[in-house]
Amino acid sequence: MDGVKAPASLTNAKSSLSPGKIATLVILSMLYLLLFPLRQSHAVYNVLRYETFRSVMAGLAAFALSLALGPILIQRFRAAHIGQTIRDVVPQHKKKAGTPTMGGILIVSSCLIATLLLADLRDPYIWLAVAMMLGYGAIGLTDDLLKLRHGHGAGLSGPQKLVSQTALAFFAAVILFGKLHFDTHLTIPFFKNIHPDLHMWGYILFAVFVMVGSSNAVNLTDGLDGLAIGPVMTVSFCYWIFTWVAGNLKFANYLEVPHVAGVGEVAIFCAALIAASMGFLWYNAYPASMMMGDVGALSLGGALGMVALLAKQELVLAIAGGVFVIEASSTIIQRYYYKMTHRRVFRMAPLHHHFELAGWPETVVVTRFWIVSIVCALIALSTLKLR
């Protein structure tokens, strides 16, 4: 990500929570646990047993929250002079300088609140998904704050960021496969009878690769107004379906996908993530009035990587997230080919900059990448039946 302008004061962007507000948040976070037992005396609450209903409600809540909180964050960021700066290598984006950044806080907070409101918090898989989003968000936030302090994009170094991401992913994977004894058989798209066993430590290493790779791929894609958030929504939609199917024994058996008891609750997290991203897009659409920053890109990518693991559809992530794979691959190819030959494959990497320099308007690049993302999502969903 590009750097951000150092603020005159960060204190203007902070607000304290009173004990009353904290108590209210705690009560609201247990909304499902408070209301669901009432179904014995009030049949209307029986609807809360359905993950599809709670997914829709979580989506509506996350969307409303992101729309409501967006203007407040933008105003606070502008008051604190938290604005985007543009590297000299992309002068065509100089007009974006000063645009409020770190808008990923809007997505994370809206998704978190909606999930806590309507998910069954006794499900450990919900906490793993939330923890990865918050943990990777914390890494991104640290990077963004360092850029604000130092200026000129001087945040965390590449190795520092990679080590932090790897350590967090490794810790989460150890909990998933060590403490929760998650299934270590790998699901291969389009091949229903091939399930190689990676065993615990092999799967842990594979899980780390999935989460770290997903996080960095989303980060590399986040370079144009609305570019990254579109594929985030299409991938989240895929995994909303994957997690619901995997958590439903009847449909999992019918479609011959691994059944993961309890993972249906993660569908509520996915729905909240889709809707929170939609609300953010309201302010991130061209010309953007808010950028997501590393706090958004890293948290979203990390969350998608964890959800893919929980749904037992890790390899499908490379299909559903085809845009992310292409963007990351173009950067890797450009870097190593230039080191070997001192020549470039693309005019500029990641790939979206190549098309910009080829004369495509920014809105055309974003729209066409979104189309590619939708096609990739449809292909990914077809793996449910084509086995």
Average pLDDT (267-277) is 97
- Residue 98: predicted pLDDT: 66
Average pLDDT (78-91) is 63
Residue 259 makes CB contacts below 8 A (sequence gap 6+) with 246, 247, 248, 249, 252, 253
pLDDT bucket at 2, cuts 50 / 70 / 90: very low
Q: Is the pLDDT of residue 171 over 70?
A: yes
pTM of structure = 0.86
- Residue 198: predicted pLDDT: 93
Average pLDDT (78-93) is 62
- Phi, psi angle pair for 83, to nearest 5°: -130, 155
pLDDT bucket at 108, cuts 50 / 70 / 90: very high
Average pLDDT (295-323) is 96
Q: Cα(169)–Cα(278) distance, rounded to whole angstroms?
A: 27
pLDDT bucket at 17, cuts 50 / 70 / 90: very low
Q: What is the pLDDT of residues 22-47, one digit of tens each?
A: 445 444 455 655 555 655 555 555 66
One-letter-per-residue 3-state SS of 42-83: CHHHHHHHCHHHHHHHHHHHHHHHHHHHHHHHHHHHHHCCCE
- 101 compared with 366, residue with greater pLDDT: 366
- Which ranges of the chain does DSSP label H, i.e. alpha helix? 19-29, 31-35, 51-79, 104-118, 124-150, 158-174, 199-221, 229-247, 249-255, 266-284, 293-310, 316-320, 322-341, 351-357, 362-382
Least confident of 16-25, 40-49, 161-170, 230-239: 16-25
- Residue 192: predicted pLDDT: 79
Average pLDDT (222-246) is 95
How large a percentage of the chain has pLDDT more than 70?
Answer: 82
Mean pLDDT for the chain overall: 85
- Residue 342: predicted pLDDT: 87
- Residue 231: predicted pLDDT: 97
What value does the CA radius of gyration of the chain take, rounded to a whole number of Å?
Answer: 21
Most confident of 34-38, 154-158, 290-294, 374-378: 374-378
